[in-house]
Every structure is written in C-alpha cells, then in structure tokens.
Amino acid sequence: METLLGELGKRISDRWVIRLVLPGLLWLVAAATAVVLGHARPFDAAALVQRAEQAGMALSARPVAAAAAVAAVLGAAVVAGLTAQALGRAVRAVWLGLWRGPAAPLGRRVRAWRLRRATARPPEGAAVPGRFLPARPTWIGDRFRLAGERVDAQYGLRLALVWIPLWQVLEEPIRTPVQEAADRFDETVRLAGWGALYAATGVLWWPGLPVGALVMVIAWRQGRAAAAGFADVVEATVDTRHRALAEALGVALPHGRLTRAEAAVINDLLHKGHRLP
C-alpha cells in the first residue's frame, strides 16, 4: 500500500509540475517583466536584469527570506496554473457554442450566419439533411454535436446515453486512443487558458497582449483539429464496439447487426424506461 501511495503521489506531483508549476513559473516571469518594464520601456532588458540581480543579492544574504520567497513563487505558480485552467473551462464553453446569458443573442445570430453560409453553397450531389446543418455558433460545437447525430442516423443510438456504458465494456487497448484524443483536446483548452492569462499582462506591458492573442489563435487551430480527431475516434468506437454493448445489455441481434428496433431497446434500457424525446 505504501508503495502504491508513493507511486500515486509521484504521478500527481509530476502532473502538477508539468501542467501547473512550470507553465505558472513561465507566466510569473512574464508578469514580473510587465510590472518592471511597463508600457514605457517594454524591451529594456538591461533594466530587467538589473532588477533581478538586486532581488538575488537581497535574498542571498537572508536564507529564511529566500526560502519563503521560493515557497511564495511556487504557490503563485500553482495559483496561476489553476487560474489558467479556469479560463480554459470558459474557453471550452465558447468553443462548444454554449453561449448563454448576454451572449445568447449573439450566438443565435452567429448560428444563423453559419447556416446561411452552409445552405448558400450546397455540395454537389444529394442535399445535406437538416440535422447535419450548423446548429451551434461554433464549428467545434457542431463537430461534437454531429458525432451524436451521425451515430443516431446510422444506428438509432443516442450517443449521450450509450457512451458511458459503452466505455465500461471497452478493452484497454481500445480505450487508449480515445483517451489520448480527449487529452489532446483538453491540452488545447489549457493552452487557450494560458493565452488568456498572458493577454492579461497586456494591461501593464503591451507586448503581452499580442503574445496572448497569438497563443489563443494557435490553441484554437489546434483545438479544431483535436476536436475533429476526438469526434472521429468516438464514432469509430461506436461503429466497432456497439455489438459488445448490445451483448452486455442482453439485447439479441437476430439479424446479425444492429437495427433501429434493437437500438430503441438499448436506448430505452439506458434511459431506464423514461420516454425519450
């Protein structure tokens, strides 16, 4: 047990260092630069070095104060990391098109604009079904929504209902790519949170604003790719493992494949008998 707890603590510590402490320390350097240089002399490296040397000399003669300063810096780095994660959650809501409150009217207008664009230039061939047209103000939000729509169109399964039970019957080798795809999207969300935090230093030091904006643009582009990859993996998992879910739930497949009749039974079982919309 002690070995297990020690290994778990090591993993947690490593995760904190990678996701919170190290990026937080880097942001603290940017924040200190913003405080020291300000808007007037944004690239005065000599002044920055001089201030750092003064702080180092002052602490070198006071070991207790130096230890307290190190602890304070590490604590501040953790706080910065937690703040970036909170900002990332807000960014995630924006990316997913969950625009509520005062942003709801803007969300409706953006969604209508995306819908007009999609219908103004229809693709060659058959018309796109209405359920596959834009229904959220963001591309990422629609890509995640489309995963559920495509699964429902193909099998009649409600992805929101079947995903967690399906996850329970997945073998570890199949879970790994799904988890990796989810982690890639989460990383882009955290990166966007850090971008917002760097942009905040622009209040005192104007270079922080374009740096933060650039980080957020990079995160957004990577987020689109990560969202598409995650949605594709989720759909592929349902395609290849829905029979295992039916077997685990005791739903027979007399035709050798899942039809909408069996899908309705699965949906009803997982919805605990409540009427589905």
Rg of the chain in Å (alpha carbons): 25
Does some domain include residue 102? no
Cα-to-chain-centroid distance, residue 159? 19
Residue 194 falls inside a structural domain: yes
Number of domains in the chain: 1
Tell whether 18 is covered by a domain: yes
Q: Which domain holds residue 187?
A: 2-95+138-270
Q: Which residues of the chain have pLDDT under 70?
A: 1-18, 121-126, 273-277
**Within a domain: residue 116?**
no
Task: For residue 231, tell me if it sits in a domain.
Answer: yes
* pLDDT at residue 50, as a whole number: 82
Q: What is the per-residue pLDDT for 126?
A: 62
Q: What is the pLDDT of residue 267?
A: 93
Note the pLDDT tens digit of each residue in 19-43: 778 899 899 999 999 998 888 888 8
Residue 122 lies in a domain: no
Q: What is the pLDDT of residue 65?
A: 76
DSSP string, 204-250: T-TTHHHHHHHHHHHHHHHHHHHHHHHHHHHHHHHHHHHHHHHHHTT
> CA 203, CA 80: separation in Å to the nearest integer?
17
Answer whether residue 34 is part of any domain: yes
CA 182: distance to chain centroid?
8
In-domain check, residue 12:
yes
Q: How far apart are alpha carbons 267 and 251 in whole angstroms?
A: 11
Cβ–Cβ contacts within 10 Å for residue 226, how many?
21
